[in-house]
């Protein structure tokens, strides 16, 4: 398959940016799914030692990918401890 892509790129050089952007988009999507699977508090890989990882998050833990105007270091806990 890679040989076919290289052959098409040699015949039609205008397809090279298309291959680059499609490859970069696929790589970015795969890395984002990997980040969600490893660092999201909603996913529990170890149910014996940590069955509810979302309860161990403090108010100053940032788990969002992008935060616009929130400084997580200054937040205080409003709810009860579980």
User: Is residue 25 located within the same domain as residue 50?
Assistant: no
One domain, residues 6 and 21 = yes
Based on the domain organization, do 1 and 28 belong to the same domain? Answer: yes
Q: Does 72 score more than 70 pLDDT?
A: no
| pLDDT band of 50, cuts 50, 70, 90 | confident
Same domain, 49 and 75: yes
Q: Per-residue pLDDT tens for 20-46? A: 999 999 999 999 999 888 877 777 777
Pair 10, 34 in one domain: yes
Band of the pLDDT at 66, cuts 50, 70, 90?
A: low
**Structure confidence at residue 82 (pLDDT):** 60
From 36, 41, 37, select the one nearest 53 (Cα to Cα).
41
Count of structural domains, the chain: 2
pLDDT at 64: 67
Mean pLDDT, rounded, of the chain: 80
The reported pLDDT for the residue numbered 17 is 93
One domain, residues 33 and 61: no
**Co-location of 34 and 6 in the same domain:** yes
Domain that residue 64 falls in: 45-81
């Amino acid at each position: 398959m890679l040989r076919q892509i290289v052959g098409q790129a040699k015949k039609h050089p205008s397809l090279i940016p298309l291959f680059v952007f499609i490859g970069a988009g696929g790589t970015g999507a795969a890395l984002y799914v990997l980040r969600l699977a490893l660092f999201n508090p909603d996913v529990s890989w170890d149910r014996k030692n940590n069955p509810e990882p979302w309860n161990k998050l403090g108010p100053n833990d940032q788990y969002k990918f992008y935060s616009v105007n929130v400084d997580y270091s200054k937040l205080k806990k409003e709810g009860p401890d579980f």
